[in-house]
Structure 1
Amino acid sequence: MSEYIEQNQTGGSVGIVAKQFFTFAEPPDLLNLESKSSIGPVIIAYETCGTLNPEKSNVILVLHALSGDSHVAGYYDPKDTKPGWWDIMVGPGKGIDTDKYFVICSNIIGSCAGSTGPSSINPETDKEYGTLFPHITVGDMVETQKALIDHLKIKSILSLIGGSVGGMQVLEWCVRYPDMVKSAIPLATTTKHSALAIAFNEVARQAIMADPNWNQGHYYSGKKPDMGLAIARMIGHITYLSDESMRLKFGRKLQNRSALSFEFGAEFQVESYLQHQGNKFIERFDANSFLYITKAADYFDLAGQYGSGSLVNAFSKCKSKFLVVSYTSDWLYPTYQSKEMVKAMKKSNMDVSFCEIDAQWGHDAFLLPNDRLDNLIRGFLRSASNET
């Protein structure tokens, strides 16, 4: 991987950004979904950073994970204290250099940050969809992104970059639209969920649906299933960490006390931390969106859909140059899954590089500052741009 390593630069901020909206699939021309259902109109929220060159050849599409959104970098307002979710990577002089590239990030369909999802108004009832919202897949997410790219009159994408569920979208794009994608960087992801990953998602979904306020998904006019969603987030958050990171950060340290209380409260720091994460999550995310997106991730099976069970067959459709990255402490999508992906790519005679990054922070490591990842992405994009 030394070909992609170069000296790191701190970089700056993209500054003030604005959320934009693209509406399509107006009736009667609805969006047909893989579930055999259809929906419309569809709104996709998106944001852009950098400048599109005259040839429109410097486009990078960043694809977010389960609870992410279109706000990848920068600030909405000068008074904002928190930038976009990947501000450490996207900006002038950073790994994804907005002085060179035009970065697009859209909120996936089924989510709740501006794009059409279960909390959107159903035009047939004038009420929120709730569980009348049709089931979606990773392929459906890509179809809406393709509609946005077509709307922007972009014919090719220099690189697709995404981690976790965003990485699934990267892979789906490369197989579904091989002639459009020049290069791709799937981070901390998989070609299909393991039984373990599906199991954790199912327990999280059951926590939501067992909440007495869930009301079969039609809770928008009353109390929301906040307790169920908070527990679901706590379950998910455990899978994003690692044993080592939790040991180093929390150990068995008590929270604001010097001795055991012999009560059912948050005595340990790790308990308090998880409760805090759950309570923060209910302020910004919709419980039904959590159900739909986790189910879409569970449905994802690249080999099953495109290769009759063979990853080699599935990747034989791709024309992209790949950089696959995994993390040593990621037990949700462990390195062996990335290696299976890379092996199949090589058997398909694809141009693929692989790097396992030594990191103690678990699955979420791709969202944290890391000079090695920053340098890898910077070098890979420079190489892909030069080839283009």
Structure 2
Amino acid sequence: MASSAPDIAPDDSRFGLDRLVRLPGAFALQSGQGLNGLDIAYETYGVLNADASNAILVCHALTGDQHVASVHPRTGKPGWWARLVGPGKPVDPQRHFIICTNVLGGCGGSSGPGSIDPATGARFAMAFPVITIRDMVNAQGKLLDHLGVGQLLAVVGGSMGGMQALDWAVAYPARVRNVVAIATAARHSAQNIAFHEVGRQAIMADPMWQGGAYLADQPPVAGLAVARMAAHITYLSEAGLTEKFGRRLQDREALGFGFDADFQVESYLRHQGLSFVERFDANSYLYITRALDYFDLAEPHDGHLSRAFAGVQSRFCVVSFNSDWLYPTAEARRVVKALNIAGAAVSFVELDSPFGHDAFLLDAPEMNRVVDGFLKSGA
């Protein structure tokens, strides 16, 4: 059923409402530990219709947040998925009630290592319990209960957001009608874990980290910047880097024979690292990358992914990009094959792009057409 909400523009008071809710009571975690109360920062777009049938949960990737389609309050930049979410876009506040949360463990207001531990009155830091993708999904479920959303029209996500979308269908089969999983996988590979470990070690080797107990105005910026640089390489492709930078020099006519940024690609990575530390918390980076590393939908089922999907009730749309080597098409096909074995309704497309893993965040008209058609057919 389509929403009967009136037109909603980006300057409308119903577009990008930034909220924080504190949910009391014990919140159990997969580790066996728990939290006494739960903070969830989130944004909503659009209006929930009369029968609460038009709600879409959008899940963010590792370094994303709840500001999916509105201007980021710290950076002033447009929302990270404004190309897909917004008026006239596939996920449209004129038709849908859109919810995007800052994940558990994040640094955008949800409970995480930067939150205050009520037992001590100080930041949790590394005393915050280790979390998983399932914990993130369960926290989102608590928020939906609070909002009165019993069933979701869809869960949509790319990268880590796609993992949450897949896990939603497994953890809450009766609550999800449609799943859109883009540039993602059902597990973190050894290579993925290896890159994350490099980043974590860079952070923890920074003397300013101080075992996670760094001062708010003296974070381990050098280590976090290096972690971001290493990770950012995995979001790109060799063809894309060659096309954009090649071996062109940065603001010079000849090699400097030193260790400044001789090459444009070096300067680009340094910029990515430095800009990242202005908006992200180092400890949150540690916790979220660990949650990603632990993700493996098949592991509780003796490695059989189809068994993980055995009880799903959702329709699935799985999208990959041919230049994505972080979560390559082979991983998407593994998901599709397992869904087929489980008897789930699934459509799959591999799209051409030179931009690697980041393609799902960039201008991708064909992806938008696929997502738009899928959501309209499942409304």
User: TM-score by structure 2 length?
Assistant: 0.95
Cα distance between partner residues in 1 of 2:86 and 2:207? 44
- 1:95-106 to structure 2, matched below 5 A, reads 95-106=90-101
> Which residue of the partner structure matches residue 18 of structure 1?
17
> Which residue of the partner structure matches residue 47 of structure 1?
43
Residue number among 235, 239, 246 corresponding to 2:241 in the alignment: 246
Cα distance between partner residues in 2 of 1:285 and 1:92? 28
Once the 2 structures are TM-superposed, how far is the Cα of residue 14 of structure 1 from its aligned partner? 6.3
User: Is contact 2:17-2:45 (8 Å) kept?
Assistant: no
> Which residue of the partner structure matches residue 377 of structure 1?
371
Once the 2 structures are TM-superposed, how far is the Cα of residue 293 of structure 1 from its aligned partner? 0.3
Once the 2 structures are TM-superposed, how far is the Cα of residue 81 of structure 1 from its aligned partner? 5.1
> Which residue of the partner structure matches residue 361 of structure 2?
367
Cα distance between partner residues in 2 of 1:325 and 1:346? 15
Does 2:69 correspond to 1:73? yes
Residue number among 192, 214, 225 corresponding to 2:220 in the alignment: 225
User: Is contact 1:178-1:320 (8 Å) kept?
Assistant: yes
> Which residue of the partner structure matches residue 263 of structure 1?
258
Residue number among 150, 157, 160 corresponding to 2:152 in the alignment: 157
- 1:54-65 to structure 2, matched below 5 A, reads 54-65=50-61
Listed as ranges, the gaps of 5+ residues in structure 1 are 1-10
Amino acid at match of 2:140: Q
Cα distance between partner residues in 2 of 1:186 and 1:111? 21
Cα distance between partner residues in 1 of 2:320 and 2:296? 19
Once the 2 structures are TM-superposed, how far is the Cα of residue 88 of structure 1 from its aligned partner? 1.1
Does 2:27 correspond to 1:34? no
User: Is contact 2:319-2:350 (8 Å) kept?
Assistant: yes
Once the 2 structures are TM-superposed, how far is the Cα of residue 41 of structure 1 from its aligned partner? 2.1
Q: Secondary structure at the match of 1:309?
A: coil
Once the 2 structures are TM-superposed, how far is the Cα of residue 308 of structure 1 from its aligned partner? 2.6
Residue number among 348, 355, 358 corresponding to 1:354 in the alignment: 348
Can you list the C-alpha shifts for 1:91-111, whole angstroms capped at 9, x where unaligned?
Answer: 111121221111100000100
Q: Secondary structure at the match of 2:225?
A: helix
Residue number among 310, 316, 326 corresponding to 2:320 in the alignment: 326
- Using the TM superposition, name which of 111-120 and 213-222 deviates more: 213-222
Once the 2 structures are TM-superposed, how far is the Cα of residue 224 of structure 1 from its aligned partner? 1.3
Residue number among 123, 126, 135 corresponding to 1:128 in the alignment: 123
- 1:61-210 to structure 2, matched below 5 A, reads 61-75=57-71, 82-210=77-205
Once the 2 structures are TM-superposed, how far is the Cα of residue 171 of structure 1 from its aligned partner? 0.9
Give aligned-pair identity as a percent: 50
Can you list the C-alpha shifts for 1:164-215, whole angstroms capped at 9, x where unaligned?
Answer: 1111101111000000100100110011111111100001100001111111
Cα distance between partner residues in 1 of 2:362 and 2:242? 18
Listed as ranges, the gaps of 5+ residues in structure 2 are 1-7
The 1:339/1:88 distance shift into structure 2, 3 A limit, reads same
> RCO greater where, 1 or 2, for CA within 8 Å and sep 6 or more?
1
Q: Secondary structure at the match of 1:43?
A: strand
Cα distance between partner residues in 2 of 1:91 and 1:233? 28
User: Is contact 2:43-2:100 (8 Å) kept?
Assistant: yes
Cα distance between partner residues in 2 of 1:101 and 1:369? 22
Cα distance between partner residues in 2 of 1:334 and 1:368? 17
Amino acid at match of 1:162: G
Q: How large is the Cα RMSD of the aligned pairs?
A: 1.6
User: Is contact 2:48-2:54 (8 Å) kept?
Assistant: yes
Cα distance between partner residues in 2 of 1:309 and 1:367? 31
> Which residue of the partner structure matches residue 310 of structure 1?
304
User: TM-score by structure 1 length?
Assistant: 0.93
Once the 2 structures are TM-superposed, how far is the Cα of residue 17 of structure 1 from its aligned partner? 2.6
* Structure 1 moving runs of 4+ over 3 Å: 11-16
Cα distance between partner residues in 2 of 1:261 and 1:20? 50
User: Is contact 2:325-2:356 (8 Å) kept?
Assistant: yes
